[in-house]
């Protein structure tokens, strides 16, 4: 690869230099600037690269801001380690949405996907995946925002010392989750240390700075020391993904619907809840589904509707609960977890 960006495939652009204007661009400007999803490969003193993916969801801007901060700080100097940056769904970013209605979710099309096999997006991510493995990347980091209130935490798919060390560098909480095929983190599990960094809500300078410091720390590190940051790590296991049934109407603002949820339901994220915790009102016997790691619907084991009240029936810790109805329909309402003891 030499010179400016060149089209290596119908969908994916590849560059070995920063595209002009990239360090100053806002998310909505990237579609015009880059022309599509783009893999940028920059050299560094250590040849084994760090792989970072950003804007897998077009309305999650923390990754772009973080990478811009990192590269500005090293402008004019050699990076301590080679860096691969995948700039993902720029078309959705141009509209400020998670994904366009006709698109698959860019974080559900990686190798291992079940629902999007053979799509152009899956082929693109398979190409990126192959390149990252071939270059012997030291780690893979996927930078995301949340729509609801959540503390910083990482999502991991394996409990190896290297992965726990990587997660511990980012935040004091990590969630062990294997339940959604086709995520970036799951695709690298067992191949290289991989994690998703959940960086709070978008459009926050402090969140971008936190993510930038994390990426810089990994770039500057020669190894991922097993045990580093692990002792203080709160580790959770995902019990299932919670969704609203397609035939159930939904409201967060008190308007009449089959399911009326509290507008501030995200206040429960990462809070250990007790049986009986009320979530909303329902005129449906079970308005939710909850898919566990085996693909079973276990909603009846965790939720109950009594006298029109939707309540939790077991002690759990929710995460990523959102009050955004569009995100609920495009992705999910949230997750339920349990705390794990240290290994």
SS3 labels along the chain: CCCCCEECCCCCEEECCCCCCHHHCCHHHHHHHHCCCEEEEECEEEEEEEEEEECCCCCCCHHHHHHHHHHHHCCCCCEEEEEEEEECCHHHHHHCCCCCCCCCCCCCCCCCCCCCCCCHHHHHHHHHHHHHHHCCCCEEEEEECCCCCCCCEEEECCCCHHHHHHHHHHCCEEEECCCCCCCHHHHHCCCCCEEEEECCCCCCHHHHHHHHHHHHHHHHCCCCCCCCCCCCCEEEEEEEEEEECCCCCEECCCCCCCEEECCCHHHHCCCCECCCCEEEEECCCCCEEEECCCCCECHHHHEEEECCEEEECCCEEEECCCCCHHHHHHCCCEEEEEEECCC
- The tens digit of pLDDT for each residue in 236-256 reads 999 999 999 999 999 997 899
Q: Is the pLDDT of residue 5 over 80?
A: no
Q: Is the pLDDT of residue 8 over 80?
A: no
Among 42-51, 168-177, 220-229, 275-284, name the one with the lowest average pLDDT. Answer: 220-229
Determine contact, residues 241/293, Cβ cutoff 8 Å. no
Of the candidates 55, 46, 47, the residue with the CA atom closest to the CA atom of residue 25: 55
pLDDT on residue 10: 40
Q: How confident is the model at residue 293 (pLDDT cuts 50, 70, 90)?
A: confident
pLDDT on residue 231: 61
- The tens digit of pLDDT for each residue in 307-339 reads 999 999 999 999 999 999 999 999 999 999 999
Q: How confident is the model at residue 226 (pLDDT cuts 50, 70, 90)?
A: low
pLDDT on residue 343: 59
Average pLDDT of the chain, as a whole number: 93
Q: How many CB atoms neighbour CB 170 within 10 A?
A: 27
pLDDT on residue 9: 38
Among 94-103, 152-161, 171-180, 285-294, name the one with the lowest average pLDDT. Answer: 171-180
Q: Which domains does the chain have, with CATH numbers?
A: 6-232 (3.40.630.10), 239-340 (no CATH)
Could you tell me how far CA 202 lies from the centroid of its own chain?
13
pLDDT on residue 232: 78
Taking the C-alpha atoms of residue 303 and residue 314, their distance in angstroms, rounded to an integer, is 8
pLDDT on residue 260: 97
Q: How confident is the model at residue 222 (pLDDT cuts 50, 70, 90)?
A: confident
């Amino acid at each position: 690869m030499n010179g400016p960006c060149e089209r290596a495939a119908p969908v994916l652009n590849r560059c070995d230099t920063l595209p002009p204007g990239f360090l100053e661009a806002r998310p909505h400007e990237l579609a015009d600037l880059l022309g599509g999803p783009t893999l940028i490969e920059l050299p560094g003193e250590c040849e084994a690269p760090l792989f970072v993916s950003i804007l897998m969801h077009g309305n999650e801007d923390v990754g772009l801001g973080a990478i811009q901060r990192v590269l500005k700080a090293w402008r004019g100097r050699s990076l301590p380690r080679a860096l691969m940056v995948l700039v993902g769904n720029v078309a959705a970013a141009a509209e400020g949405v998670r994904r366009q209605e006709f698109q698959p979710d860019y974080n559900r099309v990686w190798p291992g996907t079940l629902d999007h096999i053979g799509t152009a997006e899956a082929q693109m991510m398979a190409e990126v995946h192959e390149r990252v493995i071939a270059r012997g990347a030291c780690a893979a980091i996927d930078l995301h925002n949340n729509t609801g209130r959540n503390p910083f935490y990482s999502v991991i798919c394996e409990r190896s010392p290297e992965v726990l060390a990587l997660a511990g560098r980012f935040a004091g909480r990590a969630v062990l989750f294997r339940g959604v095929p086709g995520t970036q983190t799951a695709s690298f599990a067992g191949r290289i240390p991989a994690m998703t960094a959940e960086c709070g809500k978008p459009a926050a300078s402090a969140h971008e700075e936190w993510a930038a410091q994390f990426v810089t720390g990994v770039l500057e590190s020669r190894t991922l020391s097993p045990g580093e940051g692990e002792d203080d790590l709160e580790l959770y296991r995902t019990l299932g993904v919670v969704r609203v049934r397609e035939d159930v109407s939904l409201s967060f603002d008190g308007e009449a619907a089959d399911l009326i949820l509290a507008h501030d339901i995200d206040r429960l994220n990462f809070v250990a809840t007790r049986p009986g915790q009320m979530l909303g009102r329902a005129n449906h016997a079970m308005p939710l589904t909850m898919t566990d790691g085996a693909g079973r619907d276990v909603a009846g084991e965790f939720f109950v509707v009594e006298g029109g009240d939707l309540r939790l029936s077991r002690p759990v810790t929710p995460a990523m609960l959102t009050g955004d109805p569009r995100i609920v329909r495009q992705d999910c309402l949230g997750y339920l977890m349990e705390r794990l003891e240290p290994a």
